[in-house]
Amino acid sequence: MAKVLVIGGQGTIGQAVAAKLKEHGLHVVTAGRTHGDYLFDMTDPASIATLFAQIGELDHVVVTAGETHYAALPELKPEDNLKSVNSKLLGQINTVLIGQHRLNATGSFTLVSGVLKDRPIARGASSSMVNGAIDAFVRAAAYELPRGIRLNSVSPTVLTESAEKYADYFKGFDPVPADKVANAFVRSVLGIETGQTYTVYG
Ligand SMILES: NC(=O)c1ccc[n+]([C@@H]2O[C@H](COP(=O)([O-])OP(=O)(O)OC[C@H]3O[C@@H](n4cnc5c(N)ncnc54)[C@H](OP(=O)(O)O)[C@@H]3O)[C@@H](O)[C@H]2O)c1
């Protein structure tokens, strides 16, 4: 049975992805800072390395974690923008850089970006920047991964389950259910494509 690590597997998207991958017969383990089968911090490369060493044999990694800072541009401070870079961007990219040496042949990574790279909103510039960088990394890095390991990303719009939380930001957006977003992750893990970004914009 193929084994998949879902980083952020206790979160809104991660829970839906983990459930769907289990339905497809995968052995799912989860990781997060405070919840999950393994505890670690994606912003710390040493912690990522320890996580992979603890898990051992692994076929696939899905990341549904990473935070970005929302602020109007005149109030966006370099140190707050750096928080987005260190968490959602470098957290995921360092997971690939470190994890590529640990995954079994023909495994896969699936990262998460988001709609703001294509459809900007007020206070969203830091998120747009990070999401665009994630997808650009995916497109380029997929060519060079060893042993047939694939790399894709999923770019969701706001989820139905998160619509209330982000109501002030995503005005006029049509939310999509977590179940539909989770299916894009499943397609990446169980499919054959690489270097792709699956948009789920409703
Ligand atoms: N929800 C949406 O509508 C939506 C739409 C588009 C894109 N996205 C993106 O999708 C990702 C997940 O969103 P979500 O709504 O599912 O978030 P969520 O419910 O807050 O879940 C995030 C998960 O990631 C873990 N996590 C966060 N930072 C971590 C770190 N540094 N190291 C390890 N684990 C960490 C959290 O667990 P701990 O707290 O235990 O660490 C949590 O389980 C985010 O990057 C978000 O930008 C979300």
pLDDT per residue as tens, the chain (202 positions): 999 999 999 999 999 999 999 999 999 999 999 999 999 999 999 999 999 999 999 999 999 999 999 999 999 999 999 999 999 999 999 999 999 999 999 999 999 999 999 999 999 999 999 999 999 999 999 999 999 999 999 999 999 999 999 999 999 999 999 999 999 999 999 999 999 999 999 8
State how far the alpha carbon of 10 is from the alpha carbons of 13, 14, 19, 87, 189, in Å: 8, 6, 10, 17, 18
Domain 3-200 annotated CATH 3.40.50.720: yes
- Supply the pLDDT for residue 79: 98
- Closest alpha carbon to 16 in 68, 64, 87: 64
- pTM, rounded to two decimals: 0.98
Spell out the domain ranges in the chain.
3-200
Q: Closest ligand 1 atom to the C-alpha of 35?
A: 40
Q: Is the CB of 159 under 6 A from ligand 1?
A: yes
**33: CA distance to ligand 1 center in Å?**
11
Angle at 21 between CA 181 and CA 64, to 5 degrees: 50
On whether the CB atoms of residues 176 and 201 are closer than 8 A, the answer is yes
